[in-house]
C-alpha cells in the first residue's frame, strides 16, 4: 500500500477566498495569507509536518 507523505501549503492573497476553499478540498494542508513573513511561513511548515 502506497502512503502519500506530501504536504501542501498555499500562499494566497486575502481576496482569494474561493481559491483557498478549492485548495483545501483538493488536499492543501494549510494556507497563509500574503503578505507573510519568514516566521509565519516557518510556523505553518512546522504545523503541517506535525500533521503527518
Query: What does pTM read for this prediction?
Result: 0.62
What pLDDT score was predicted for residue 2?
A: 59
Q: What pLDDT, in 10s, does the model give residues 14-42?
A: 888 888 889 889 888 888 888 889 999 99
Q: In Å, what is the CA distance from 1 to each residue of 4, 6, 33, 48?
A: 10, 15, 35, 23
| Phi-psi sector, 43: left (phi>0), alpha (psi -120 to 50), beta | alpha
How does DSSP classify residue 49? H
- Say which residue, 3 or 9, is predicted with more confidence: 9
Q: Where are the domains of the chain?
A: 9-51
In 3D space, the residue among 23, 3, 1 whose CA is nearest the CA of residue 12 turns out to be 23
User: Can you tell me the distance from the alpha carbon of 35 to that of 14, in angstroms, rounded to the nearest whole number?
Assistant: 9
Amino acid at each position: 500500500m502506497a502512503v502519500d507523505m506530501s504536504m501542501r501549503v498555499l500562499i494566497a492573497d486575502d481576496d482569494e477566498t474561493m481559491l483557498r476553499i478549492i485548495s483545501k478540498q483538493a488536499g492543501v494542508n494549510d494556507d497563509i495569507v500574503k503578505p507573510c513573513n519568514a516566521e509565519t511561513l516557518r510556523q505553518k511548515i512546522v504545523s503541517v509536518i506535525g500533521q503527518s
